[in-house]
Structure 1
Amino acid sequence: MEILTLIAIFLGPIVAVQVSQYLERRRQKHAGKESVFKTLMRTRATVLNPSHIEALNMIDVEFYGKNKKDRAVVAAWKLYLDNLADYSTPDDVKYAKRKDLFLDLLYSMAHALNYDFDKEHIKNTSYIPQGYVDVENEQHLIRKGMLGILRGDIVVPIRVTTFEDSKKSD
């Protein structure tokens, strides 16, 4: 009995530390998955957001494992990534498929993290103000226009006026 007591006194703290470290690693792994999922949910209407792209690139790391749900997330990510890297398919076909693949990715992540979200919920519950959409579209048009000018594809019309001509129009 004394030997058992000595073993318990000696091994007890070691086992307690090991269990504590194991639980901390599990919490950190879950927190990493949660962070990626929440970032993608938060930025799902703004896919060019740098946080969105960083979260996508962390999926392989955070959902790495032998767990069936984690493997499903990585498989959905690979399908989505293949679509993102496909430059041979016409844009209209690629973009329609891209939305579905991204929805599948978010759904598999929600399922892996035990969120009770269906695909319709994920698809229809994001919000982006129209003003942001307008600004993004305008910036896109400005960039395209400037590139066209720099490449020589677009000509900038110039009208020469005199000082008196400008006074008349005021």
Structure 2
Amino acid sequence: MEILTLIAIFLGPIVAVQVSQYLERRRQKHAGKEWVFKTLMRTRSTVMNPAHIEALNMIDVEFYSRNKKDRSVVAAWKLYLDNLGDYRTPDDVKYAKRNDLFLDLLYSMAQALNYDFDKEHIKNTSYIPQGYVDVEKDQHLIRKGMLGILKGDMVVPIHVTNGGGGDQP
């Protein structure tokens, strides 16, 4: 009995530290998954947002596991990533499929993290002000126009008019 007491006294603190470390690793792993999911949910209407891209790139790391639900997240991510890198398919077909694949990815994450969200909830509960959409479109057009001018693909039309004022003939 004394030997068992000594073993318990000796091993007790070691086991307690090991259990504590194990629980902390589990908490950190879950927190990483939560961060990825919440970031993608928060930025699902602004896919060019750097935080959105960062979260996508962390899926493989954060959801790496033997767990079936985590593996389904990684599988959904691979399908979505394949679509993102597809330069052969016509844009209209690719973009329609892309939205469905992204929705599947978010849904599989919700399932893995035990959120009771269905696909319609994920799809229809995002808000982005129209003004933000307009500014993004305008900035895109301006960038494309400037690039076209710099490449020589576009010209800037110039109209000369008589100002009607001053000493100039």
Q: TM-score normalised to the size of structure 1?
A: 0.95
CA distance in 1, matches of 2:154, 2:165: 27
Residue 164 of structure 1 aligns to a residue whose secondary structure is coil
Range 86-95 or range 151-160, more displaced? 151-160
Q: Deviations over 1:59-82 (max 9, x none)?
A: 000000100000000000000000
Amino acid paired to 2:53: I
Alignment correspondent of 2:56? 56
Runs of 4+ in 1 over 6 A off after TM superposition: none
CA separation in 1, counterparts of 2:156 and 2:26? 60
Shift of the alpha carbon at 1:157? 1.2
What percent of counterpart residues are identical? 87
Give the letter aligned to residue 8 of structure 1: A
Alpha-carbon offset, residue 152 of structure 1: 1.5
Aligned-residue RMSD, C-alpha: 1.1
Q: 2:98 aligned with 1:71, yes or no?
A: no
1:2 corresponds in structure 2 to: 2
Other structure's SS at 2:58 match: helix
**Structure 2 segments unaligned to the other structure (5+ residues):** none
Instruction: Please say if 1:19 is aligned against 2:26.
Output: no
CA separation in 2, counterparts of 1:150 and 1:165? 34
Letter in 1 for 2:28: Q
Segments of structure 1 that go 5 or more residues without pairing to the other structure are none
Distance 2:158 2:4 in 1: 96
Q: Tell me, in whole angstroms, the C-alpha distance in 2 between the residues paired with 1:63 and 1:153.
A: 45
- 1:163 CA displacement: 4.7
* Cα deviation 1:85-134 (Å, max 9, x = unaligned): 00000000000000000000000000000000000000000000001000
1:47 aligned partner: 47
1:108 matches 2:118: no
Offset of residue 150 of structure 1: 1.2
What code does the residue aligned with 1:156 have?
A: V
Quote the Cα distance in structure 1 between the aligned partners of 2:5 and 2:114.
Answer: 42
